[in-house]
Structure 1
Amino acid sequence: MGHGGAEIGGHKLAVLAGVTFNLDTLYMTWLTMAFLVVSALLLRKSWALVPGGWQNFVEIIIEGLLAQIDSTIGPNGRKVAPLIITLFLFLLIANWLGLIPGFTSPTNDINTTLGLALMIVIIVHGYGVKTKGLLAHFKHFIEPNVLFLPINIIEELAKPVTLSFRLFGNILAGEILIVILGILVPYVAPTLWLAFSVFVGLIQALIFTMLSMSYLSNSLEVHHHEEKEG
């Protein structure tokens, strides 16, 4: 059990109605959301036709993600573009937050990463049912024949698990190594690892987002073909 972050990977706990909450995760999640909301409002207020400074950085990210969404999902990808862009920016800030002394990454908590992964899976099936119909969407579970049903179910259950543990493990490991290096080899090694962790946080946010796009593309694929035929 964590005691206010006294242990590596520990959490400040609170119990309400028999449910345990990791308070530091909640605080850092709300802080990440607040940062994104305030930044979006400030950027919107100062948005210029001729970009400069942070606007250039934001436009590069958004244009890059939109291009990837178009190539991965197709024209229907614009329907989920706000979700994908928001997810990436949230993960990016959340991953980097733990690199600031006194802060922790909400993504170093399996509850956060698993919650995000489950959200993606639910949205995937929601879009699948909406675009293909209930029976047509779940038909792939018995393809190429009904004997594959158990394997397909296991594969589907594995998606949120692998998606969440990959992000959780990398972010938590990075924070642990920063602490250990800070104790064993002060100054130089932690600084170098900190710079590397910035890159890792970016890559992990990108991987999670890309896999989410891949899952969503399967749900929108039939609809995409239907629109092209029409």
Structure 2
Amino acid sequence: MSEQTGSGGLNEYIKHHLTHNTSEVFGSEALSKFNFDSWIVALVLGLLFILWFGLAARKATAGVPSKGQAFVEIILEFIDGQVKDTFHGDRRSVTPLALTIFMWVVFMNTMDLLPLDLFGWLVHVTAGPEAAHHTYFRAVPTADLNTTFAISASVFFILIGHAVSAKGVGGFGKELVTAPFHAHGPMKLVLVPVNLVMNIIEWLVKPVSLAMRLFGNMYGGELVFMLIAGLMGSIYTFVPGVIANAAWAIFHILIILLQAFIFMILTVVYIAGARESH
């Protein structure tokens, strides 16, 4: 049985693993407290993605590709094919964005497959049991709402950039107050606030839905791993626990890939919609 489970029961065990390693910046705890563990893991994984694909691009050859190059090319062709089917404009900036989102989210989601008590065990070995009990570290950035909202907020501003690029500032502003309900004469002015409110809701729903969908699925998957580990953490249930964890991990691989794909493809769909006129 894990130390947290043995000392405080299942509730304390789950509470411990749901607690972030937080840090304060700018001297204000209320306004600047952020989850350091999510930030550092997301940053490291993003840099690993850049390093991997950057090295693959440098070593790419026109002849028979290596296994590593072939794997990267398969991913690139898959993403570009999905973008081509969804977005019918210039893909030179959209495909790299889709690739970055897909691979980065996959990397972050995959952290859920690491052993739940791995980081606690490392602290236990290096600094002792007391330090392990008071050390918090959540390794899945996408199970943190701050991370998913940060990514979706970035997508939101990219969407606005595409809309302004395609329609101009005036055209984009005009569309906000004249669509989706079109009218002529006095009714045109009456429908301006209605159209504006409807468009604001439509634009805000996109990042919120992206963030909540990814967060909800990854948080739920992480919680299942915690329940399995907490309920089957004793020596008597070790083998059933391993089997249950392995079964859930195999199923969870599908969720990891599917959620990354959905986030990526919806981003492309939203970009295509942002560039079209109502």
Q: TM-score, normalised by structure 1?
A: 0.87
Matched, 1:193 2:248: yes
2:22 maps to: 13
Take 1:44 and 1:27, find their aligned partners in 2: how far apart are those partners? 26
Secondary structure, aligned partner of 1:77: coil
Q: Choose from 54, 57, 60 the match for 1:41.
A: 54
The count of corresponding residues between Structure 1 and Structure 2 is 219
Equivalent residue number for residue 267 of structure 2: 212
In the alignment, what sits opposite 2:209? 162
| Alignment partners' CA distance in 1, 2:51 and 2:195 | 48
Whether 1:71 aligns to 2:85 is yes
AA partner of residue 141 (structure 2): P
**Secondary structure, counterpart of 1:74 in structure 2:** coil
Q: Work out whether residues 8 and 176 of structure 1, in 8 Å CA contact, stay in contact via their aligned partners in 2.
A: no
Q: Equivalent residues in 2 for 1:44-63 (5 A)?
A: 44-48=57-61, 49-63=63-77
**Deviation, structure 1 residue 41:** 3.4
What residue number does 1:172 align with?
Answer: 219
- Give the aligned partner of residue 80 of structure 1: 94
- C-alpha distance in structure 2 between counterparts of 1:207 and 1:139, whole Å: 31
Q: TM-score, normalised by structure 2?
A: 0.73
Q: How far is the alpha carbon of 1:77 from its aligned partner?
A: 2.4
What amino acid maps onto 1:41 in structure 2? G
Q: Does 1:115 align with 2:150?
A: yes
Contact 2:60 2:69 in 1 (8 A): yes
Q: What is the root-mean-square deviation of aligned Cα atoms in Å?
A: 2.0
Letter of the aligned partner of 1:192 in structure 2?
A
CA distance in 1, matches of 2:45, 2:59: 21
Verify the 8 A CA contact 1:113 1:167 in the aligned structure 2: yes
CA distance in 2, matches of 1:151, 1:55: 47
1:97 aligned residue (99, 106, 111): 111
Separation in structure 2 between the aligned mates of residue 192 and residue 139 of structure 1, nearest angstrom: 53
Matching residue of 1:152: 199
What stretches of structure 1 of length at least 5 have no aligned partner? 223-230
Deviates more, 1:11-20 or 1:205-214: 11-20
Please give the secondary structure, in 1, of the residue aligned with 2:23: strand
Residue 140 of structure 1 is matched in structure 2 by 175
Q: Cα distance, 1:45 vs. partner?
A: 4.1
CA distance in 2, matches of 1:140, 1:8: 47
CA distance, structure 2, for counterparts of residue 190 and residue 124 of structure 1 = 39
Separation in structure 2 between the aligned mates of residue 90 and residue 58 of structure 1, nearest angstrom? 14
Using the alignment, how far apart are the partners of 1:30 and 1:117 within structure 2? 16
Q: Which amino acid aligns with 1:38?
A: L
Structure 1 outlier segments of 4+, above 6 Å: none
Q: In terms of mean alpha carbon deviation, does 16-25 or 46-55 score higher?
A: 46-55
